[in-house]
Structure 1
Amino acid sequence: MLNWLLLQIQMADTAAVQTGEVQVETLSYWDLAFKGGWVMIPIALLSVIAVYIFVERFFVIRKASQEDITFMNRIKEYIHEDKIESAFTLCQSTDTPIARMIEKGISRIGRPLNDISAAIENVGKLEVYKLEKGLPTLATVAGGAPMIGFLGTVMGMIIAFYDMSNAGNNVDVGMLSNGIYTALVTTVAGLIVGIVAYFAYNILVAKVEKVVFNLEARTTEFMDILNEPVK
């Protein structure tokens, strides 16, 4: 079968050269996308979802990573001066995950340190959960888009060979090559979306891990403040 296809291609090329009918036809990316058929619709939707999640999460995580370098120093001063209300008010006026964690810890002052640490940890888990919102969906897009693209290619190849079987002895190279390149369009589109989503996912995960590290560091710093003797 393969030898027959190669022979047909060689004969077609030879005939085209002899008759001077060789023409170079350009195809835009837009036209190529439409060649993929209905399978391109879910792939396009997945690409929009991936871009939206990445952009939205990028700015949310970047905001969460911003920190006032004087925040912990002011908290320390208020606690050592026994100005618990002032420290609590400062946390409420600061819209960051760190501030919300410290706020919970301040509200537990007077209780055992283990209870304070557990309360802060619970708030920290909630803050991390909020930051990771949408990341599982992005991971699903990274793995699902190539599979959908491959499905479109398999379906396209089935249709191409079905058309060939119905053509009987009238099969030509153009019919086969058109079916094959049309079918491969969905695989390329799915891979592009999947690769972009994969890199986007890992970028966001790295940023979340950085925020988590900062949250843990500030929690430790706050617990140290509570353990420090008042001068």
Structure 2
Amino acid sequence: MLGLQASIGVTTDTAAAASPVVQEKTLSIMEMILGGGTGNVIIISVLFVMLGVALYIYFERLFAIKAASEVDKTFMFKIRDCIASGRLDAAKMICVQTNTPVARLIEKGVSRIGKPLEDINKAIENAGTLEVYQLEKNTAILATIAGAGPMIGFLGTVVGMIMSFHEMASAGGQAEMGALAGGIYTAMATTVAGLIVGIIAYVGYNHLVVKTDKIVHLMEANAVEFLDLLNEPL
């Protein structure tokens, strides 16, 4: 009986020693970039450059738009008081010191006081167009990256599949899975990278559009208030 138990113990120990230890394998970013060959490295490098450009444009425009949206709530009251008392130079000085898109629009209108209301309105509209152009500076590049990123990723997908089918053709249709892995790896890795770049750029672009629209509405509201002020009887 003791001999049987000893035999079972030896067998169990032998099986435990023979069983392989399963180790979890992780994939780093560098392995993902370098693991698919030269084509994979080139395409993902291009996508990383695009991602860097997209992030730079997003944060640069975000801070610029945030600074442009900071308007003193008493600004129009000060302008109203200056115009009512005929102190146009003081009104221009307030606009210069404020230095925001809204202030620059009002400054353009103040400088046209004395001319027909239609001319004043036209001057404000032209100034508003220039201000919107400055607010939207480089956002078109962000939109381009949002569309081009996934397309470049899909280009990598096509290149990877071509590599896989080339291996199959070279092996007479009998290629092993290991030979096809490089092409499939390139196809999947570039697709993921392209989608990440596209999603980040797309979300960033739309966020900037929303922020810009708020400032445009703010400029329009203040321009209307200014024109109404000129129509009020003194």
Superposition TM-score, scaled by structure 1 size: 0.87
Larger Rg: 2
Secondary structure of 2:73 counterpart: coil
Residue in 2 that maps onto 1:196: 200
Query: Deviation at 1:26?
Result: 2.7
Q: Is the 8 A contact 2:160 2:182 kept in 1?
A: no
Residue in 2 that maps onto 1:31: 31
Secondary structure of 2:190 counterpart: helix
Q: What is the alpha-carbon root mean square deviation over aligned residues?
A: 1.8
Q: Aligned partners of 1:155, 1:182: CA distance in 2, in Å?
A: 8
Amino acid at match of 2:232: E
Q: Aligned partners of 1:102, 1:164: CA distance in 2, in Å?
A: 70
Unaligned runs of 5+ in 1: 1-18
Residue in 2 that maps onto 1:157: 161
Residue in 1 that maps onto 2:152: 148
Amino acid at match of 1:31: E
Give the number of equivalent residue pairs. 212
Q: Stretches of 4+ moved more than 4 A in 1? A: 19-24
The one of 96, 104, 109 equivalent to 1:100 is: 104
Amino acid at match of 2:73: I
Unaligned runs of 5+ in 2: 1-18
Q: Aligned partners of 2:101, 2:59: CA distance in 1, in Å?
A: 20
Alignment of 1:150-229 (within 5 A): 150-168=154-172, 171-229=175-233
The one of 60, 64, 72 equivalent to 1:68 is: 72
Q: Aligned partners of 2:85, 2:26: CA distance in 1, in Å?
A: 76
Query: Is 2:131 the counterpart of 1:127?
Result: yes
Q: Is the 8 A contact 2:153 2:191 kept in 1?
A: yes
Change (3 A) 1:169 1:190: closer
Superposition TM-score, scaled by structure 2 size: 0.86
Identical pairs, percent: 50
Q: Aligned partners of 2:173, 2:96: CA distance in 1, in Å?
A: 80
Q: Aligned partners of 2:196, 2:232: CA distance in 1, in Å?
A: 55
Q: Aligned partners of 1:54, 1:193: CA distance in 2, in Å?
A: 13
Residue in 2 that maps onto 1:11: none
Amino acid at match of 2:208: L
Query: Is 2:80 the counterpart of 1:81?
Result: no
Residue in 1 that maps onto 2:113: 109
Change (3 A) 1:171 1:109: same
Q: Aligned partners of 2:226, 2:173: CA distance in 1, in Å?
A: 82
Q: Is the 8 A contact 2:108 2:124 kept in 1?
A: yes
Which of 87-96 and 108-117 deviates more? 87-96
Q: Is the 8 A contact 2:159 2:183 kept in 1?
A: no
Q: Aligned partners of 1:213, 1:62: CA distance in 2, in Å?
A: 15
Residue in 2 that maps onto 1:15: none
Q: Aligned partners of 2:33, 2:205: CA distance in 1, in Å?
A: 25
Secondary structure of 1:93 counterpart: helix
Query: Deviation at 1:152?
Result: 1.1
Secondary structure of 2:171 counterpart: helix
